[in-house]
Amino acid sequence: MSHHTQSEADATTDEPLLKARGLKQHYPIKEGILRRQTGTVRAVDGVDLDVYPGDTHAIVGESGCGKSTLLETLLGLEEPTAGTISYDGTSIGDLSGSEKRALKSQIQIVFQNPESSLDPRNTIGQIISEPLHLHTEASTQQIDARVVSLLDDVGLGPRYYGRYPHELSGGQQQRVAIARAISLNPSLLLLDEPTSALDVSVQSKILRLLDEIKDEYDLTYVMVTHDLSVVRHFATDVSVMYLGNVIEKASTEALFGDPKHPYTQALISAVPVPDPHHTAENDITLPGTVPEPSDPPAGCRFHPRCPIATEECAEDFPAFESHDRHEVRCIRVPEAEEIGSTEDSAAAGTSSTDRPGLSAAQYEDARQE
């Protein structure tokens, strides 16, 4: 049964479109011929997320931190081990079967690798029309017309209708995947590294397309990526993940202009910054590698690699502290700010051309310069 009451509907402006609380996705590790459970992979381990209508919310972090698992859990591909997901004010766990099916058309995903996400035996027309056949009552004629218009919206002409995926370039395949994802007019598009399998020159064109269809289709994006330059130019908000948890979240501008968590500072300093004042001395290098999510350290998960950790950091995993809508899980942040060690790199990150939410076209121009 839907719990979407009138008062909740009225409060939509300040309601997140997508909200997760304490979201966990754990996988059992099974070993031996008896397949006994010997441990647990804490792929996602207590994530809170608020994505507001119209946001492009980036989720960033190193490989293995749980980004893809988080996205799959948000999509409903996997039942969460714990926690709740709400969509437009309604908890997904409270929905009936038919309401869940209806919701599925509202949330779509675009994967990293278009080649493996498109069925090679089907034509482009069949691929894009499949969700329309499955979820709508439209006639074949109406669906065909819709597919042609979708092809046009993603910058492919009607001549692609009868072609097969292998006849298309990677960028064209990703356009097809996007056309399919928007075919049912979803509100929320989950983007799992949507450009990282593509050539750099094609990446910016796909970002530009995503930017255009976001306006045209009134979409909200949640994008997983490890490419901070994409985040910087494309996202409006960022959540930084480390070992299954979000450790910092802020607007893109605040995150790049004033990264607070030592991990975020390290991530940002690893991005090549086109700035004459930027020197290697500003870089923070991180000792060690990411621990296994099956055996996370006690206390703050980052403390064994953290340059400013104290003994206290090994005790408790800190809760979020809010610094004017810029939230961070680190007990050392106020002191770190006093040290002022981040000021140079923070200033370097806020030139006027580095505005978050820069259109993809502007981003492309910037890249080509």
Ligand X SMILES: Nc1ncnc2c1ncn2[C@@H]1O[C@H](COP(=O)(O)OP(=O)(O)OP(=O)(O)O)[C@@H](O)[C@H]1O
Residue type, 338: E
Question: Which helix (DSSP H) or strand (DSSP E) does residue 81 occupy?
Answer: none
Which listed residue (41, 74, 240, 360) binds ligand X by CB under 6 A?
Answer: 41
Rg (CA), the chain: 22
Q: Taking the complex as a whole, how short is the minimal distance between the CB of residue 66 and ligand X, in angstroms?
A: 4
Q: Taking the complex as a whole, how short is the minimal distance between the CB of residue 81 and ligand X, in angstroms?
A: 12
Best CA proximity match to 228, nearest among 62, 364, 64: 62
Q: Is 268 or 290 the residue whose CB approaches ligand X more closely?
A: 290
181 CB-near residues (< 8 Å, 6+ apart) = 108, 109, 110, 189
Edge-to-edge, what's the strand order for the sheet holding 18-31? 36-51, 18-31, 82-87, 90-91
Q: Which range binds ligand X by CB under 6 A, 57-65, 200-208, 275-283, 320-328? A: 57-65
Each residue 223-242 as x (binds ligand X by CB under 6 A) or -, in order, gives ---x----------------
Helix (H, G, I), strand (E, B) or coil at 223: strand
Q: Which range binds ligand X by CB under 6 A, 58-66, 255-263, 324-332, 336-344? A: 58-66
57 vs 261: CA distance, rounded Å: 18
112 vs 84: CA distance, rounded Å: 26
209 vs 206: CA distance, rounded Å: 5
Size of the site for ligand X (CB under 6 A): 13
DSSP at 62: S
Each residue 239-278 as x (binds ligand X by CB under 6 A) or -, in order, gives ----------------------------------------
54 vs 78: CA distance, rounded Å: 25
Each residue 284-323 as x (binds ligand X by CB under 6 A) or -, in order, gives ---------x------------------------------
Q: Taking the complex as a whole, how short is the minimal distance between the CB of residue 213 and ligand X, in angstroms?
A: 24
Q: Is 27 or 161 the residue whose CB approaches ligand X more closely?
A: 27
User: Between the CA of residue 271 and those of 90, 275, 285, what are the distances in Å?
Assistant: 38, 11, 12
Question: Which helix (DSSP H) or strand (DSSP E) does residue 126 occupy?
Answer: helix 124-135
20 vs 22: CA distance, rounded Å: 7
81 CB-near residues (< 8 Å, 6+ apart) = 24, 25, 26
Q: Which range binds ligand X by CB under 6 A, 14-22, 60-68, 103-111, 319-327? A: 60-68
Q: Taking the complex as a whole, how short is the minimal distance between the CB of residue 216 and ligand X, in angstroms?
A: 29
Q: Taking the complex as a whole, how short is the minimal distance between the CB of residue 201 and ligand X, in angstroms?
A: 23
Q: Is 53 or 296 the residue whose CB approaches ligand X more closely?
A: 296
Q: Taking the complex as a whole, how short is the minimal distance between the CB of residue 245 and ligand X, in angstroms?
A: 12
Residue numbers 113-142 binding ligand X by CB under 6 A: none
Q: Taking the complex as a whole, how short is the minimal distance between the CB of residue 197 and ligand X, in angstroms?
A: 12
Q: Is 76 or 357 the residue whose CB approaches ligand X more closely?
A: 76
Residue 188's DSSP bridge partners are 107, 220
Each residue 63-102 as x (binds ligand X by CB under 6 A) or -, in order, gives xxxxxxx---------------------------------
Q: Taking the complex as a whole, how short is the minimal distance between the CB of residue 257 and ligand X, in angstroms?
A: 25
Q: Which range binds ligand X by CB under 6 A, 6-14, 56-64, 161-169, 354-362? A: 56-64
Each residue 9-28 as x (binds ligand X by CB under 6 A) or -, in order, gives ------------------x-
Question: Which helix (DSSP H) or strand (DSSP E) does residue 205 occupy?
Answer: helix 200-216
DSSP at 169: -
Residues found in the chain: 369
Q: Which range binds ligand X by CB under 6 A, 6-14, 62-70, 97-105, 113-121? A: 62-70
Q: Taking the complex as a whole, how short is the minimal distance between the CB of residue 330 and ligand X, in angstroms?
A: 20
Q: Taking the complex as a whole, how short is the minimal distance between the CB of residue 74 and ligand X, in angstroms?
A: 12
229 vs 332: CA distance, rounded Å: 27
5 CB-near residues (< 8 Å, 6+ apart) = none
Dihedrals φ, ψ of 143, to 5°? -65, -40
Would you tell me which residues interact with ligand X (CB under 6 A)?
27, 41, 43, 61, 63-69, 226, 293
